[in-house]
């Protein structure tokens, strides 16, 4: 249906409706579609030929010149209207209102009001919540999802149903398992989060022509920075002062933002509510102008959280007047205020001399420049790239299939006893499907969702394959009362049981962190009793954003399989069934540690330190620093097949070849600065991976490294990963290029990157490889063959180092290659 017809339809409805309905219509319509029968677009010269005379409407000019022209035409009052998310249009210049606030965390969302589903597009493809997509460890999937989301967004924009500026992704680190917003993130690891951010941003922003100065839609990496406490035991994000040392800042909290800006070329960064070391992030000139714009060279705008400018004054008492909060944030580098506060107090701030018109001009210029890159000032989008997209391009069969595929790729199989999964429909003819999440719809899409195209619940997915009976077990996930008797008798009557348990937004959400890690209420009791009564295999499916302490289930032999499905999106039920019946071989890996309850018992969520402190018993956080007991570890995840890894080549010694004058040539050094002639050089780690089973499957190959124990470096950290799909018995090569300065360095106590000298241990699966970094060339190359390594204890992985490298030309070539890249490379026995 074309947009004008639909609008007429809507208008007819509202003219005969109650007052209430028309108020609803008014507030829920996107701003740029409010006033006429088809959406208003800036510089639409077909509608108003007089606009052609304005420089800012002239697409032939450079963006910068167009922005200068536009700013020059505006009064101060009009300019202030462009400092806030609900920007006020200027009708004398043909500029419509624009709501900057749209979201697209895992599909176009209507949160924020910039996009809406009450008009010509009733729903959009709802992908799994990000934490599950992250579990796929498939970078091309991350980008493919971003691309579909931006296509649907453009299609909606063309008919006035969406904005062009989307405040996604959330690139904060999932530091504490209790965080209510952990579900929105890609987990606890900075490397994965950086890769997710870059790929998703490229998917959203990248135009078909690849011109970096054009944007398909504008993404935004948020919430900058060190933000991951919402509301925990009276600690609120609005007033929380996140105390972060420089080392954690630079090796945990900042890297995803840096990658997002530097490698992803994101068009926006959002500063958070909290303070960092006593300063509100949105009013910190070092963090905004200094780092984001200065060091990282953001090409775009910095936006506040909603409304984190107000919070500076009202909640934090950081300034004594509202005007001061507006001025401080603007002078720190903030360009746009989500919500209204800056709009109300900017004129006062100018009048009080706290900021001047040039400061306002700078801010709005960054905002306008972004809109220019989006084609906002190029008139009717129908005549522009992506102009032929419309409602027919939203919720297509292909897009919905990608939502199903994303959930399949993310689902993590955590436990699987022999003869449990996958189920064969010829053996398992009847299923008992039990649990408060067994037939849910909106639980599957988590937060920052839109309206999905369609839902398939777990129950609906499973009954497509076999006959199933269903009991909710408890009326909701809180499970204060469980109907255990009905559930157990149902379980006893079926060939197999699938329990779908876990949480939903009532347990973990924005502004609501968890207090414990247990399955809520009587869920554990229900699961245990049902498993006891079951006569066949019992699959525990956990739907949740964060990890749970399911030690009881891990240890219960009656519970034969455990699957984590995150919040799996609109097609969750289909994907769960695909995995349960073996139509898809699970390949997801946990992107976050699952801790036992004891971990959080005496651990304040508000302690931001990543590193353990033995003197106080502080355990440290995430797999990079915590070495205690886990329920399931970062990277855990089973497959229905088996894989073996074999190292093909990797250097044993890398010499940095320091200059003769370097102090480390004469005195003992633990590390050297990760700057110097040896930077930008890379060594290669090459592996082969084989699917030794008789089923196709995908495997994520993780390359971890444990640096020498200097500078309180991580226990281990993820250097790179690569997901490969292999047919049965198939073999493939995986090659990692390891940049000596970027990848093998650690951040020291002052935030400086250093290359630790000495033995670095590379881990791939249970395989270990020792790589020594020396400052000078110590040994003469004696052999082109890597020595046999007999201290390897791996059993399931059939590599042996003596077999790994053939004494052929390749290794010699490698030595030569490396020698030409780093100042000296030595292969020693």
Q: Please list the active-site residues.
A: 305
Residue 439 touching ligand NAG (CB under 6 A): yes
How many residues lie near ligand NAG (CB under 6 A)? Answer: 25
Q: Which of 205, 378, 420, 457 binds ligand NAG (CB under 6 A)?
A: 457
The contact pattern for ligand NAG, residues 465-504, with x = CB under 6 A and - = no contact, is -----x----------------------------------
Of the two residues 614 and 666, which places its CB atom closer to ligand NAG in the complex?
A: 614
Q: What is the sign, positive or negative, of the torsion defined by CA atoms of 309, 311, 316, 319?
A: positive
How many residues in total does the chain contain? 829
Q: Which of 15, 18, 50, 317 binds ligand NAG (CB under 6 A)?
A: 317
Q: What angle do CA 339, 340, 345 make, to 5 degrees?
A: 145
Name which of residues 172 to 191 contact ligand NAG (CB under 6 A).
none
Residue 454 touching ligand NAG (CB under 6 A): yes
Q: Which of 320, 358, 426, 667 binds ligand NAG (CB under 6 A)?
A: 358
Residue 241 touching ligand NAG (CB under 6 A): no
Residue 320 touching ligand NAG (CB under 6 A): no
Q: How far is CA 293 from the centre of its chain?
A: 22
Of the two residues 203 and 379, which places its CB atom closer to ligand NAG in the complex?
A: 203
Q: Which of 269, 270, 682, 724 binds ligand NAG (CB under 6 A)?
A: 724
Element housing 672 (H / E):
strand 671-673
Residue 763 touching ligand NAG (CB under 6 A): no
Q: How far apart are CA 479 and CA 458, in angstroms?
A: 19
Q: How far apart are CA 584 and CA 442, in angstroms?
A: 24
Name which of residues 382 to 421 contact ligand NAG (CB under 6 A).
405
374: its two tokens: 């989006």
Q: Please state, as a whole number, how many other Cβ atoms lie within 10 Å of the Cβ of residue 387.
A: 15
Residue 356 touching ligand NAG (CB under 6 A): yes
- Coil vs helix vs strand at 257: helix
3-state secondary structure 562-573: EEECCCCCCCHH
Q: Which of 65, 93, 144, 781 binds ligand NAG (CB under 6 A)?
A: 144
Of the two residues 408 and 514, which places its CB atom closer to ligand NAG in the complex?
A: 408
Q: How far is CA 380 from the centre of its chain?
A: 33
- Coil vs helix vs strand at 340: coil
Q: How far apart are CA 13 and CA 29, in angstroms?
A: 14
Of the two residues 254 and 399, which places its CB atom closer to ligand NAG in the complex?
A: 399
Minimum distance from CB of 820 to ligand NAG (Å)? 32
The contact pattern for ligand NAG, residues 659-698, with x = CB under 6 A and - = no contact, is ---------------------------------------x
Q: How far apart are CA 654 and CA 777, in angstroms?
A: 8
Q: What CA–CA distances, in Å, run from 335 to 95, 283, 393? A: 19, 11, 33
Concatenate the DSSP letters of all residues of 6-60 into one string. Answer: HHHHHHHHHHTS-HHHHHHHHHHS-GGGSSSSS---TT-TTT-GGGGG-GGG-TT
Minimum distance from CB of 671 to ligand NAG (Å)? 17
Minimum distance from CB of 775 to ligand NAG (Å)? 25
Q: How far apart are CA 589 and CA 409, in angstroms?
A: 9
Q: Which of 99, 125, 138, 186 binds ligand NAG (CB under 6 A)?
A: 138
Minimum distance from CB of 412 to ligand NAG (Å)? 14
Interface region with ligand NAG, contact rule CB under 6 A, candidates 7-15, 169-177, 682-690, 723-731 = 723-731
Minimum distance from CB of 724 to ligand NAG (Å)? 5
Query: In this structure, are residues 177 and 761 in contact, taking their beta carbons and an 8 Å threshold?
Result: no
Q: What angle do CA 480, 483, 489 make, to 5 degrees?
A: 155
Interface region with ligand NAG, contact rule CB under 6 A, candidates 25-33, 136-144, 486-494, 809-817 = 136-144
Name which of residues 604 to 633 contact ligand NAG (CB under 6 A).
614
Minimum distance from CB of 238 to ligand NAG (Å)? 9
The contact pattern for ligand NAG, residues 576-595, with x = CB under 6 A and - = no contact, is --------------------
Q: How far apart are CA 490 and CA 154, in angstroms?
A: 48
Which residues sit at the interface with ligand NAG, rule CB under 6 A? 138, 140-141, 144, 239, 316-317, 331, 356, 358-359, 405, 439, 441, 454, 456-457, 459-460, 470, 614, 698, 723-725
């Amino acid at each position: 249906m074309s947009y004008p017809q639909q609008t007429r339809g809507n208008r007819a409805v509202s003219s005969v409706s109650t007052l209430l309905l028309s108020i609803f219509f008014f507030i829920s319509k996107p701003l740029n579609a409010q006033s006429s029968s088809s959406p208003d677009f800036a510089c639409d010269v077909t509608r108003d030929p007089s606009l052609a005379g304005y420089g800012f409407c002239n697409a032939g000019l450079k963006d910068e010149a167009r922005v200068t022209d536009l700013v020059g035409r505006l009064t101060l009052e009009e300019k202030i209207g462009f400092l806030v998310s609900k920007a006020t249009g200027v009708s004398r210049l043909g500029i419509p209102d624009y709501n900057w606030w749209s979201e697209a965390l895992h599909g176009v969302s209507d949160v924020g009001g910039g996009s809406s589903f009450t008009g010509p597009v009733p729903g959009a493809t709802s992908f799994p919540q990000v934490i599950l997509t992250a579990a796929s460890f498939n970078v091309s999937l991350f980008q493919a999802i971003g691309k579909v989301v931006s296509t649907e967004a453009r299609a909606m924009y063309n008919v006035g149903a969406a904005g062009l500026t989307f405040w996604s992704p959330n690139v904060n680190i999932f530091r504490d398992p209790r965080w209510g917003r952990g579900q929105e993130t890609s987990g606890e690891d900075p490397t994965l989060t950086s890769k997710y951010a870059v790929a998703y941003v490229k998917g959203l922003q990248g135009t078909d022509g690849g011109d970096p100065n054009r944007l398909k839609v504008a993404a935004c990496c948020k919430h900058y920075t060190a933000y991951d406490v919402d509301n925990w035991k009276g600690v609120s994000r609005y007033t929380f002062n996140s105390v972060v040392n420089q080392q954690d800042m630079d090796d945990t909290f900042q890297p995803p933002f840096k990658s997002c800006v530097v490698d992803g070329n994101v068009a926006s960064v959002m500063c958070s509510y909290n303070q960092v070391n006593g300063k509100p992030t949105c009013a910190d000139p070092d963090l905004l102008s200094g780092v984001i714009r200065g060091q990282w060279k953001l090409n775009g705008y910095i936006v506040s959280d909603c409304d984190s400018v107000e919070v500076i004054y009202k909640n934090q008492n950081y300034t004594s007047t509202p005007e001061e909060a507006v001025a401080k944030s603007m002078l720190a580098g903030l360009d746009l205020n989500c919500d209204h506060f800056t709009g109300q107090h900017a004129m006062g701030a100018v009048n009080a001399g706290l900021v001047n018109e040039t400061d306002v001009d700078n801010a709005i210029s960054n905002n306008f420049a972004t809109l220019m890159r989006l084609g906002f000032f190029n008139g009717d989008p129908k005549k522009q790239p992506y102009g032929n997209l419309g409602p027919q391009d939203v919720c297509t069969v292909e897009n919905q299939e990608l939502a199903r595929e994303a959930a399949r790729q993310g689902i993590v199989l955590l436990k699987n006893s022999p003869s449990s999964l996958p189920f064969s429909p010829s053996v398992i003819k009847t299923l008992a499907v039990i649990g408060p999440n067994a037939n849910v719809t909106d639980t599957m899409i988590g937060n920052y969702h839109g309206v999905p195209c369609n839902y398939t619940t777990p129950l609906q997915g499973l009954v497509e394959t076999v006959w199933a009976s269903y009991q909710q077990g408890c009326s909701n996930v809180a499970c204060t009362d469980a109907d255990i008797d009905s559930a157990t008798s149902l379980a006893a009557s079926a060939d197999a049981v699938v329990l779908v348990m876990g949480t939903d937004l009532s347990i973990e959400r924005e502004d609501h962190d968890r207090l414990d890690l247990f399955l809520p209420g009587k869920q554990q009791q229900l699961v245990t009793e049902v498993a006891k009564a079951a006569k066949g295999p019992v699959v525990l499916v956990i739907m949740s954003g964060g990890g749970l302490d399911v030690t009881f289930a891990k240890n219960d032999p009656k519970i034969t399989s455990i699957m984590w499905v995150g919040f799996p999106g609109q097609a969750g039920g289909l994907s769960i069934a695909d995995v349960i019946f073996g139509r898809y071989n699970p390949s997801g890996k946990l992107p976050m540690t699952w801790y036992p309850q004891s971990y959080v018992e005496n651990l304040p969520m508000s302690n931001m330190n990543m590193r353990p402190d033995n003197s106080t018993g502080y355990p440290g956080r995430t797999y990079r620093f915590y070495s205690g007991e886990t329920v399931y570890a970062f990277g855990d995840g089973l497959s229905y097949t088996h894989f073996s890894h074999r190292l093909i080549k990797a250097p044993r010694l890398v010499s940095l070849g320091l200059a003769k004058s370097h102090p480390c040539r004469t005195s003992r050094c633990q590390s050297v600065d990760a700057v110097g002639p040896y930077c930008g050089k890379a060594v290669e780690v090459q592996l082969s991976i084989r699917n030794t089973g008789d089923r196709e499957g995908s495997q994520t190959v993780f390359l971890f490294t444990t640096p020498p124990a200097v500078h309180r470096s991580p226990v281990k950290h993820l250097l790179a990963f690569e997901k490969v799909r292999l047919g049965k018995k198939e073999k493939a090569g995986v090659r990692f290029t390891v940049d000596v300065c970027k990848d093998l360095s650690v951040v020291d106590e002052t935030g400086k990157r250093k290359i630790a000298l000495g033995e670095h241990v590379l881990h791939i699966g249970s395989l270990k490889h020792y790589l020594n970094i020396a400052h000078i060339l110590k040994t003469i190359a004696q052999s082109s063959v890597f020595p046999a390594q007999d201290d390897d204890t791996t059993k399931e992985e059939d590599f042996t180092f003596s077999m790994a490298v053939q004494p052929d030309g390749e290794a010699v070539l490698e030595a030569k290659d490396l020698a030409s890249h780093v100042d000296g490379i030595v292969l020693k026995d």
